[in-house]
Chain A
Amino acid sequence: MDHLTRLENKSIYIIREAYYQFKNIAMLWSVGKDSTTLLWLCRKAFFGHLPFPIIHIDTSYKFLEMYQFRDERAKEWNLNLLIAKNEEKLKGGMGPGQGSKLDCCNELKTNALKSVIKKYHLKAILLGIRRDEHGIRAKERYFSPRDSQFKWDYENQPAELWDQYQSMVEEEEHFRIHPILHFTEFDIWNYVKREELPIVPLYFSKNGKRFRSIGCVPCCSPIDSNAQTIDEIVEEIRISKTSERSGRAQDKENIYTMQKLRALGYM
């Protein structure tokens, strides 16, 4: 079985297990490449008939291309799409331009999600988080810590099982399930290519810039890149990872040190 198929099968198993264990679940779709991949895997798991809704948390500040993409897919794939919006706050003029970002994120995102969870009595949410996104995610678990445990979760069983560790992010009282934890950024792109998945055009270079991650317009910045196809993006990622790895141990440490210092404005 090739690498991507193995990853895919594992995800499908986890998604089906989550549905069995919680029944009343939903998938959070940010319309980005990771959650779109997750959506595709959910479709595979349920043979095209998703028995649960797809939630888009709409702050109304997303890129136009994202809205278009979202609506096209919802139609094409016959999704039960729930758009979670904090209408009240939006009417009151809330946004990243006016007032605090904390409030903005809280009200327009977090609280919008909370209301949806409450309204539909959701027990668990499927999310498209990957382990290699960030150092903090490196030990993330397939099923979040509280109750239900599955033996497939075992590889993620650090001391945190017996701990009271709660991050600021996990304020909601439901479960978070991460079926694509084991996909790397590299894997996602290869999978998107293999499955010919549609993704938001913002990922591809236009005028020497492209977005590596997409969210709300005011908070996202593009990177310099000329990659216009998936192959080019994959090559870009591969090069950056190889250059990280090659070189002598001490040289490597020096390179990392330099990167760190540069990121803080030194050198």
Chain B
Amino acid sequence: MDQEEHALPIVIVGHVDHGKSTLIGRLLYDTDCLPPDKYSEIQKSSEMLGREVEFAFVMDCFEEERSRGITIDTTQTFFKTPKRRYVIIDAPGHKEFLKNMITGSSQAEAALLIIDAFEGIQDQTRRHAYILGMLGFKQVCVLLNKIDLVEYSQDKFIQLKVEVTDFLNQLNIHPTFILPISAIHGDNVAKPSEKISWFDGPTVLQALDTFYELKVEEKPLRFPIQDIYQMDGKKILVGRIESGHLAKGESLFLLPEKKKVVVKSIKKFLEKDVPTVHFEESVGICLKGRQKVRRGQILSGDLSFMISDRINANIFWMDPIPYQMGGPLLFRCVTQEVPCRIEKIHKKFDPASMEWVKEDASSILGAEVADILIHLESQVIVDPFNDIPEMGRFVLEKGRRPVAGGIIL
């Protein structure tokens, strides 16, 4: 297994018949990233069928491995351009996807929304688009696929492009690109196509290469204190670095008090004199002097965070029992745990009509998405979800059970 180079995680969403599998197969194939055994399998099948449908088989293979369920496959779907690697995050169903993104079990930094140019916007297109909107995706590339079925018509493309832009803007999505492609024939995916000579925009790969990486490791430090250990008369603060890095001797802010502190030493088992530690490491640190510290405080590298006892957020309600306005909940974001109430529901997403409903709602039902205002008993430190994900996602609990997950945009 190779050591990990950073790969930009992307998610591909859209109606299931609009060519998602074919696109993935095409991306892998055109970038020479098809695992050799899969490739020979596909060749055999397509020879047999005498048709160009080989790429759908790639996804069938991946589908199968996943549905087998017994071994969890840790290999992921990678492809690459000369610039960098990409990893495709699985989005089996919209609810799963939403839950996974909110709870952090998968983290996509860009999205490809695939729409069949012939069929146009369908229900699933809408659903996935609303999720992208709810999650505040900034980097979205819309692919109008099967452009061959509308005879590569520029007029049709423009017409659809206008329709799509309008539709997405209502959901607060401003796609970076809208591209005409044919995944099955390979037009404009990896290579431009003479059949779409009227189009002067990028190919899918070129578009992806323009996206920036989140690079949480380069963001300002956020180190939520998980616990305090007393060892050899010293207080060791343990926790996980949720963004940025931390160096010995560095000066930091202890929040929410905003007190200035200095890192005396960094502790790692069996390692002496650790100079720096990085994003995702679970470490122990000692501060200079005697500080009043407790779990839930945050050590921050700068003052760019948001601190407030009133927060606007998008939540996904998971409990079968609906929420009635004003009911008490517990807000948990990294190691912060603060009682709170939902003070206002700005709007709710109605899964039936698939639109944001602007009425004054007083309750939130299971599987609903709502844009709300939370009022907390004391101030908390948060960051926008698309900036420092772990500091921008939270859980609401009732009676020590999670009832909703949410993000702060």
Contacts and interface: CB of A to CB of B under 8 A. Distances in A.
Given A16-B226, A138-B70, A154-B395, A1 B240 contact: no
A151 B74 contact: no
B100 interface: yes
Interface residues of A, number: 45
A154 B45 contact: no
A75 interface: no
B69 interface: yes
B4 interface: yes
A47 B283 CA distance: 10
Given A1-B4, A19-B227, A151 B278 contact: no
30 contacts: A1-B281, A3-B3, A9-B280, A13-B240, A13-B282, A20-B227, A44-B268, A44-B269, A47-B229, A47-B284, A49-B231, A138-B70, A148-B400, A149-B397, A149-B400, A149-B402, A151-B405, A154-B99, A154-B104, A154-B402, A155-B104, A162-B320, A184-B71, A245-B37, A245-B65, A246-B37, A247-B41, A248-B41, A248-B44, A249-B60
Interface in A45-64: 45-49, 51
Nearest to B401: A149
Interface string A246-267: 1111001000000000000000
B397 A155 contact: no
A194 interface: no
A12 interface: yes
Best-surrounded residue of A19, A48, A154 (most CB of chain B within 10 A): A154
Interface string A114-129: 0000000000000000
Given A47-B229, A245-B37, A151 B402 contact: yes
Contacts of B138: none
Contact of A16 (B103, B279, B282, B318): B282
A44 B70 CA distance: 31
Contact of A157 (B269, B318, B320): B318
Interface of B: 1, 3-4, 37, 41, 44-45, 57, 60-61, 64-65, 69-72, 74, 99-100, 102-105, 226-227, 229, 231, 236, 238, 240, 267-270, 278-282, 284, 295, 318, 320, 332, 393-395, 397, 400-402, 405
B69 A138 contact: yes
A6 B238 CA distance: 17
Interface string A1-39: 111001001101100110110000000000000000000
B100 A155 contact: yes
A70 to B, nearest CB: 21
Nearest to B228: A20
A214 B298 CA distance: 44
B69 A20 contact: no
A147 interface: yes
Contacts of B269: 43-45, 47-48
A92 interface: no
Nearest to B57: A249
B121 to A, nearest CB: 31
A3 B1 contact: yes
Given A47-B231, A154-B102, 15 more contacts: A1-B278, A6-B280, A9-B281, A10-B282, A12-B282, A19-B227, A45-B269, A47-B284, A138-B72, A151-B393, A154-B395, A157-B103, A184-B74, A249-B57, A249-B61
B70 A154 contact: no
Contacts of B1: 3
Contacts of A43: 269
Interface string A170-203: 0000000000000010000000000000000000
Given A47-B267, A138-B70, A247-B41, A2 B281 contact: no
A241 B64 CA distance: 15
A99 interface: no
Contacts of A51: 229
Nearest to A181: B72
A132 interface: yes
Give 10 nearest A-B pairs by CB, closest first: A154-B103, A155-B105, A12-B282, A151-B395, A246-B37, A44-B269, A13-B282, A135-B70, A9-B282, A20-B227
Nearest to B395: A151
Interface of A: 1-3, 6, 9-10, 12-13, 16-17, 19-20, 43-49, 51, 131-132, 134-135, 138, 147-149, 151-155, 157, 161-162, 184, 241, 244-249, 252
Contact of A249 (B64, B227, B238): B64
B402 A13 contact: no
Nearest to B402: A149
A152 B279 CA distance: 17
Contacts of A252: 64
A259 to B, nearest CB: 12
Given A3-B4, A149-B397, A157 B72 contact: no
Given A1-B280, A157-B318, A157-B402, A151 B103 contact: yes
B238 A16 contact: yes
B227 A16 contact: yes
A66 B303 CA distance: 54
Nearest to A187: B74
A60 B153 CA distance: 79
A157 B41 contact: no
Nearest to B41: A248
Contact of B405 (A9, A154, A241): A154
Contacts of B71: 132, 184, 241, 244
A138 B72 CA distance: 7
Best-surrounded residue of A13, A49, A245 (most CB of chain B within 10 A): A245
Nearest to A130: B72
A132 B226 CA distance: 29
Contacts of A131: 72
A51 B236 CA distance: 14
Contacts of B240: 9, 13
A138 B104 CA distance: 19
B147 to A, nearest CB: 30
A251 B346 CA distance: 54
